[in-house]
Structures are given as structure tokens and as C-alpha cells.
Amino acid sequence: MSKKIIGVLGLGIFGRTVAEELCTFDQEVIALDYREDHVQAVSNTVTRAAVGDITNYEFLENVGIEHCDTVVIATGNSLEASVLAVMHCKKLGVPNIIAKAKSGLFEDVLYNIGANRVIMPERASGKSLASHILRRHISNIIHVEDDISIIEFSIPQKWIGQSLISLDLRTKYEINVVGLRTGNTEGLITNFNPKDPLPADIHISAVANSRTFEKFDYLGYLK
């Protein structure tokens, strides 16, 4: 099995969760924080844990951050700290740097200085919660890239007995059907006849622009 070496800089709730989840999949994790209690909380789980200042270049060099395939800068409260950590990781030759941000300003700055990816967990959690509240037919969304996703959804009452051809879903809802599922536990059926009538318990899996299709679902436009 191919292992990656991943650095997690900042061990608050977010950073600690990332580090522990990576270790669940048997990856090598270097976990760093300036607070000893945060480091102690993961010391028995990660490959290496150390107390120190993640804005200090010599500290990062001494703990071996240059050997990491990816570094997650999980502290998002101080823009200065995040900027310095990104700059030091780039100087040490880390190929993939992911940084947490708490605002759009932080996000722009971190991208501009070389972060490969910037995430805003609070914003993502808020979007996810809103999505779950509004869902009518969508049961699952798997994001592929940007707004392109694989979406699984139950069919509206009016679709029962109609065929995929007669529904013309690509034109009406901008989706491409890739599979069908009967019930919640059956495997995905990818070899299907688009002329067959759809039964009441069918779920459709399709590639779509998730933002567009979510609006159709949430606003009750699937008819």
C-alpha cells in the first residue's frame, strides 16, 4: 500500500479531526501545534507530534515538513500565521499546500501567495446544512469538480410509469443519467433500457451541475 506523508499544522477541532481521519487510513501524519495539550491529544495516534510555532521556518524544517506530500494548514484565525506557514512550506518544497481560511479575504490572500487549495469549513458546513434542510428528492451528492457532481435522487410522483426517453431529462434539467437503483440498498444498475417505464421505488444517479439541479429540486421544479 502506498502511504503519503501529510503535515497538519494547527490542532484545533478541525486540524485534529483531519489528522485522526488520515491516521484511520494508515497514513503517516506529522501533527504540530503551539499548545502542548493539543499535541498530547493526538500524540498516540499520529506518526509524529511536536509542540512549536508553525510560523517558525527552522521549527518546520527540524520536524521534517519538507518530506511531506501534502501539508494542511489548519489554523484559520490569524492571517499572518497562515501566510507565513504557506510561505515556509513552499520554501521547503512541499508540493501540495491546503490552507484553512475564515473569510473571503483570507482565501484570496492564501491563493495569491501559493496555496494549492483553500477551504472554508464553516461555509461548507453552512451550505451542507442548508442543502439537507431544502432537499425534496435528492438523497446524495458526490462532488467531482467545481460544481459538477454525481447526484442521486428519488423520482417525483408524476415520473412513475414514464420512460427516461419520454422525460427528456437532459434537455429539461441539464443532467446525464448514468445509473438506476431500486430501493436504498440495491447496487447501481448501469445497463438499463431508457424506454422502460420507471417504477415507484427507483432512484436515478446522474452527472449534473449540482447548483443548477439543486435549485430544481429545492424549489419544487422537478415535474
Tens-digit pLDDT profile for residues 51-68:
999 999 999 999 999 999
**∠ CA 55-61-65 to the nearest 5 degrees?**
90
| Stated pTM of the model | 0.70
pLDDT at 114: 94
Residue 47 has pLDDT above 80, yes or no: yes
Q: Cα(first)–Cα(last) distance of the chain, in Å?
A: 47
Q: Which residue has the higher pLDDT, 151 or 145?
A: 151
Lowest average pLDDT, out of 22-26, 96-100, 153-157, goes to: 22-26
**How many Å apart are CA 170 and CA 70, to the nearest integer?**
39
Average pLDDT value for the chain: 91
- Given a cut of 90, whether residue 34 has pLDDT beyond it is yes
CA distances from 204 to 21, 28, 45, 144, 174 (A): 31, 38, 40, 17, 14
CB 150 within 8 A of CB 142: yes
pLDDT-derived band at 184 (thresholds 50, 70, 90) equals low
* Whether the predicted pLDDT of 1 surpasses 60: no
Q: What mean pLDDT do residues 200-209 have?
A: 92
Q: What is the mean pLDDT of residues 31-59?
A: 96
Q: Which of 70, 76, 86, 49 is nearest to 7 (CA)?
A: 70
List all residues 6 or more positions away from 26 whose beta carbon is below 8 Å from its beta carbon. 1, 3
Query: Can you give the pLDDT at residue 162?
Result: 95
The larger pLDDT score, comparing residue 88 to residue 3, is at: 88
Rounded mean pLDDT, 95-112: 93
Q: What are the structural domains, with CATH classification, of the chain?
A: 5-120 (3.40.50.720), 135-218 (3.30.70.1450)
**What is the per-residue pLDDT for 146?**
76
Whether pLDDT at 213 is above 60: yes
In the structure, what pLDDT confidence band is assigned to residue 167 with cuts at 50, 70 and 90? very high
Q: How confident is the model at residue 185 (pLDDT cuts 50, 70, 90)?
A: low
% pLDDT > 90, the chain:
69
Residue 5 has pLDDT above 70, yes or no: yes
